[in-house]
C-alpha cells in the first residue's frame, strides 16, 4: 500500500503506514474510505449523515474546543454507526482521551 506521507530517509526503513502519518491524515482517509464502502446503495444515508455531522461541527473552517464538540459529535456518531460498532470504535480513536 502506498502512503501519502513522505517516505523515510533510511534505505532499510519502510515508508510510514497511514496510521503513522502526521496528524492522523492517512488514518482518517482510510476511515472515510471504510465509511464509503459501507454506504452501499441500500444504505446511502450512512455517508450522508456522517458528513452532515462533520459539517455541523467543522464546516465553518474552525475547529471547536474539544470539551464543547466531543460529547455532541460522539452522541451523533453513536447513532449513525449503531449498526457498525467497528466503525464507531475506529471513529473514537480520533477523539481526545480526556473528554
Contacting residues for 54 by C-beta, under 8 A, at least 6 apart: none
The answer regarding whether domain 18-92 maps to CATH 3.30.460 reads no
Q: Which residue has the cell 459529535?
A: 73
Half-sphere exposure of 14 (CA within 13 A, CB side): 7
Pairwise pLDDT comparison (30 vs 16), residue with the higher score: 30
Every domain of the chain and the residues it spans: 18-92
Residues 71-76 have a mean pLDDT of 89
Pairwise pLDDT comparison (85 vs 66), residue with the higher score: 85
Q: Name the band, by pLDDT with cuts 50, 70 and 90, for residue 4.
A: very low
Residue 66: per-residue pLDDT: 56
Residue 8 zone, left/alpha/beta (φ > 0; ψ -120 to 50; rest): beta
- pTM beyond 0.85: the answer is no
Instruction: Specify the DSSP class assigned to residue 24.
Output: G
Q: Name the band, by pLDDT with cuts 50, 70 and 90, for residue 32.
A: very high
Amino acid at each position: 500500500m502506498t502512503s501519502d506521507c513522505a517516505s523515510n530517509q533510511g534505505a532499510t526503513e519502510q515508508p510510514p503506514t497511514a496510521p503513522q502519518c502526521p496528524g492522523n491524515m492517512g488514518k482518517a482517509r482510510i476511515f472515510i474510505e471504510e465509511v464509503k464502502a459501507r454506504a452501499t446503495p441500500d444504505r446511502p444515508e450512512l455517508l450522508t449523515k456522517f458528513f452532515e455531522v462533520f459539517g455541523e461541527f467543522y464546516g465553518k473552517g474552525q475547529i471547536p474546543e474539544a470539551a464543547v464538540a466531543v460529547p455532541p459529535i460522539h452522541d451523533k456518531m453513536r447513532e449513525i454507526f449503531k449498526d457498525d460498532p467497528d466503525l464507531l470504535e475506529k471513529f473514537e480513536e480520533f477523539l481526545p482521551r480526556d473528554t
